[in-house]
Copies of this chain bind each other. A is one copy, B any other.
Amino acid sequence: MLRLRLKSPVDTVMREPEKDRDRPSLLIKSRPIRLKGQSGINPFKELSQKGHEMVVLVPEANYHILNGSYTTRTFKVPYTMADLDASLDIIKKGTLEAPGLLDVPKTFEMIMNFTEMQVKGCEGLLYDEPLMRSLQEQDFDLMLTDPFLPCGTIIADAFSIPAVYFLRGMVCGLDLEAAQCPSPPSYVPRLFTGNTDAMTFPQRVKNLLMVGVESILCKNVYRSFDELASRYLKKDTTYKQLLSHGAIWFMRYDYMFEYPRPLMPNMVMVGGLNCAKKKPLPADLEEFVNGSGEHGFIVFTLGSMVSELPEVKAKEFFDAFRQIPQRVLWRYTGVVPKDAPKNVKLMKWLPQNDLLAHPKAKAFITHGGTHGLYEGICNGVPMVMIPLFGDQGDNVQRMVARGVAETLNIYDITSEKLLVALRKVIHDKSYKEKMMKLSAIHRDRPIEPLDLAVFWTEFVMRHKGADHLRPAAHDLNWVQYHSLDVIGFLLLILVTVMFVTFKSCMFCFRRCLRKSQKKKNE
């Protein structure tokens, strides 16, 4: 077995084993074991515990390797760790210094740079012939991959094995397009628009225009994917076409986060699968949070990527925390001022889900990645959200629209603004009440999302795919799908009938006219 590890440098700085945070491509050899309602932290661990063999392929330059019972194999990439660090720094700097969070061209440029590097890395793997040959000989049953990057999907096609996707979403909604999932722009908000599902007329105009903008920008983003796929597979294809053969799409959200909209039969929602299991806190942390008394404590992380802040920015946070009675646990590795307040505990890494599960957790300051966001929802902790880039702006909008979070902009954040937001989510009871309701509904489900993910992964292995869930829409082109040819044909008939009727009437009318004129003349 082989786990193809094509890590996105964007979300993998955290070196702790948060194994479900990555974008892995897994090749799995199945063991004929049926699911018996077990539960765990992520489907990879779960699958390996159930006896499936897995291998992860790791690029030479990468941020961390997962611990677990899978073999890893390394492949060469045309970039170094220094290159990765440099590209990360550009993103961080851009995020902290630019005012526009929903800056579409900037975001697309970031995505372009990121995917370009990853496509090069993918080439390093695909054209490593000895490695690829040895993988093919191992006769895998399944590819589990995040289609945000193309390598897993291309290999699944090359090896003729079913692919199962595990994703938050794709740029320009390519996931929905490839799955033939309808997504009416009248109530399904597009990324980067800041729209909710209830839009005013101008917002709907913006949303529809975004569909057009996306289709132009995305041609550039996915061109390199199309080119690589066609070149490597030696056939004229597009990435979307390859994607459309995916057996199951695991979507890392549910309707606590996403707005209700159509789904396709092979889309399975597994939002919150990361916060199923909670461990007790280490003794020192337990002591610290219990010492917070009735005021409770605040958990603060900006995700795996940003553990440092410019001194001047960090000062605003320290100043705000000095003025509140709550204790604060902050994942922070930057410069610490001499007068740092004593109610703040700085840590290189913190057990986020376990802390949020603590009854004294009062608020969660987060950048709004879906993992952290779901840990907030699972544990019913209101949030102050500081989105940094990518989908985070949209994620945050969704939580704010539900009345369970306040949002701040990292660019112009001040201690005053932070204090106002924190006091609001802690003291205005409506935030906690709405969050508890959201949490209750999220946790009230007929089957755990993790079990669902394991079940469907094994289902695909048992049945060599999930063809019975594939809609016939895949066999239609755009014109056929929208019945435009049929409508055109019916219009043609209608026009012909009207034309013939009109001509016949005119003919009769003229004859009658002539006759009556003749009569008059007589």
Residues in A lying within 8 Å of B, measured CB to CB: 35, 181-182, 184-187, 197-198, 201, 204-205, 208-209, 255-256, 259-266, 440-441, 444, 446-447, 451-452, 455-456, 459, 462-463, 468-473, 475-476, 480-483, 485-487, 489-490
| A473→B186 contact, CB < 8 A | yes
| A446→B489 contact, CB < 8 A | no
| B447→A197 contact, CB < 8 A | no
| A472→B259 contact, CB < 8 A | yes
In the complex, A46→B420 CA distance in Å?
51
Q: How far is the CB of A342 from chain B (nearest CB, A)?
A: 42
Seed contacts A182-B262, A187-B472; 14 additional CB < 8 Å A-B pairs: A181-B262, A184-B473, A184-B483, A186-B480, A201-B485, A204-B486, A205-B489, A205-B490, A208-B486, A260-B468, A260-B472, A262-B264, A263-B265, A440-B463
What B residues does A489 contact at CB under 8 A?
201, 205
| B441→A471 contact, CB < 8 A | no
| B463→A456 contact, CB < 8 A | no
| A204→B264 contact, CB < 8 A | no
* Cβ 8 A contact of A187, one of B35, B186, B481: B481
What B residues does A204 contact at CB under 8 A?
480, 483, 485-486
What B residues does A197 contact at CB under 8 A?
471-472
Q: How far is the CB of A186 from chain B (nearest CB, A)?
A: 5
Q: How far is the CB of A27 from chain B (nearest CB, A)?
A: 23
| A455→B463 contact, CB < 8 A | no
Q: How far is the CB of A187 from chain B (nearest CB, A)?
A: 4
Instruction: Provide 22 A-B residue pairs closer than 8 Å at the C-beta atoms, listed in order of the A residue.
Output: A182-B182, A184-B481, A184-B483, A186-B480, A187-B471, A187-B473, A187-B476, A197-B472, A198-B472, A201-B489, A204-B480, A205-B486, A208-B486, A255-B265, A256-B468, A259-B472, A260-B265, A262-B262, A262-B263, A444-B463, A446-B447, A446-B455
Closest B residue by C-beta to A489 = B205
**So how many copies of this chain end up in the complex?**
2
In the complex, A184→B184 CA distance in Å?
13
| B184→A469 contact, CB < 8 A | no
| B470→A441 contact, CB < 8 A | no
With known contacts A204-B483, A208-B487, A446–B441 Cβ distance under 8 A: no
| A446→B260 contact, CB < 8 A | no
What B residues does A182 contact at CB under 8 A?
182, 184, 262
Q: How far is the CB of A184 from chain B (nearest CB, A)?
A: 6
What B residues does A181 contact at CB under 8 A?
262
What B residues does A209 contact at CB under 8 A?
490
Closest B residue by C-beta to A481 = B186
Give 7 nearest A-B pairs by CB, closest first. A197-B472, A182-B182, A260-B471, A446-B455, A262-B262, A187-B472, A260-B265
What B residues does A205 contact at CB under 8 A?
486, 489-490
In the complex, A255→B264 CA distance in Å?
11
Closest B residue by C-beta to A265 = B260
What B residues does A208 contact at CB under 8 A?
483, 486-487, 490
Interface hub of A201, A472, A473 (most chain B Cβ within 10 A): A472
What B residues does A456 contact at CB under 8 A?
446
In the complex, A349→B64 CA distance in Å?
67
What B residues does A490 contact at CB under 8 A?
205, 208-209
Q: How far is the CB of A416 from chain B (nearest CB, A)?
A: 35
Q: How far is the CB of A319 from chain B (nearest CB, A)?
A: 38
In the complex, A182→B481 CA distance in Å?
12
